[in-house]
C-alpha cells in the first residue's frame, strides 16, 4: 500500500469531516481504554460516523501510537493525551521541510502540550 496523500484525502479529511473525526477518535479512545476489541471498536465507531475505509485506517493507526513506549511525534491530541512521552518534532519538520504540507488539526484546543 502506498503512503502519502491519496487523491480523495481532501474530501475524506476536509474541514467538514474534522468535527466528526474528533468525535470518532474520542469514542474510539474510550472503547480502547475500556478494553473493547480493536476490530469491533473500529467497526462500531466507523459505522456510527459512516467513515470510509481510509478514515477508519487513519483511526486504527492511533492505537499503535497510544500503546508505544517510544517517543511519539504526532499532532493528534487524543493520542498525545494518552502516550507516556512525546516531542513535537512533527510541527518542526513540517514547518521547515514541508511548507506546503496539507495539515488536518483534530485537536480540541491548540494550547495543550506535554513535553518530556
Structure confidence by residue, pLDDT tens digits, 7-49: 788 888 888 888 898 889 889 888 988 989 989 999 999 999 9
Task: Give, in order, the Cα–Cα distances in Å from 105 to each of 69, 75, 76, 78, 112.
Answer: 24, 7, 7, 11, 13
Quote the pLDDT of residue 114.
Answer: 40
Would you place residue 110 in the very low, low, confident or very high pLDDT band (cuts 50, 70, 90)?
Answer: very low
Task: Give, in order, the Cα–Cα distances in Å from 45 to each of 22, 52, 66, 94.
Answer: 12, 11, 18, 30
C-alpha cell at 80: 498525545
Contact 89, 105 (CB under 8 A): no
Reported pTM = 0.56
Q: Would you say residue 107 has pLDDT above 80?
A: no
- List the chain domain ranges: 9-97
Tens digit of each residue's pLDDT (9 = 90 or more) over 66-95: 666 665 556 566 666 666 666 666 677 777
Contact 44, 31 (CB under 8 A): yes
Quote the pLDDT of residue 115.
Answer: 40
CB-based burial, 86-112: b 16+ in 10 Å, e otherwise: beeeeeeeeeeeeeeeeebebeeeeee
Amino acid at each position: 500500500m502506498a503512503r502519502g496523500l491519496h487523491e480523495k484525502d481532501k474530501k475524506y479529511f476536509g474541514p467538514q469531516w474534522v468535527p466528526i473525526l474528533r468525535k470518532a477518535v474520542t469514542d474510539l479512545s474510550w472503547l480502547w481504554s475500556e478494553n473493547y476489541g480493536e476490530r469491533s471498536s473500529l467497526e462500531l465507531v466507523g459505522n456510527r460516523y459512516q467513515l470510509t475505509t481510509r478514515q477508519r485506517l487513519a483511526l486504527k493507526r492511533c492505537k499503535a501510537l497510544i500503546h508505544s513506549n517510544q517517543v511519539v511525534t504526532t499532532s493528534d491530541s487524543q493520542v498525545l493525551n494518552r502516550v507516556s512521552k512525546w516531542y513535537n518534532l512533527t510541527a518542526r519538520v513540517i514547518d521547515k521541510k514541508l511548507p506546503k504540507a496539507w495539515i488536518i488539526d483534530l485537536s480540541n484546543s491548540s494550547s495543550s502540550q506535554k513535553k518530556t
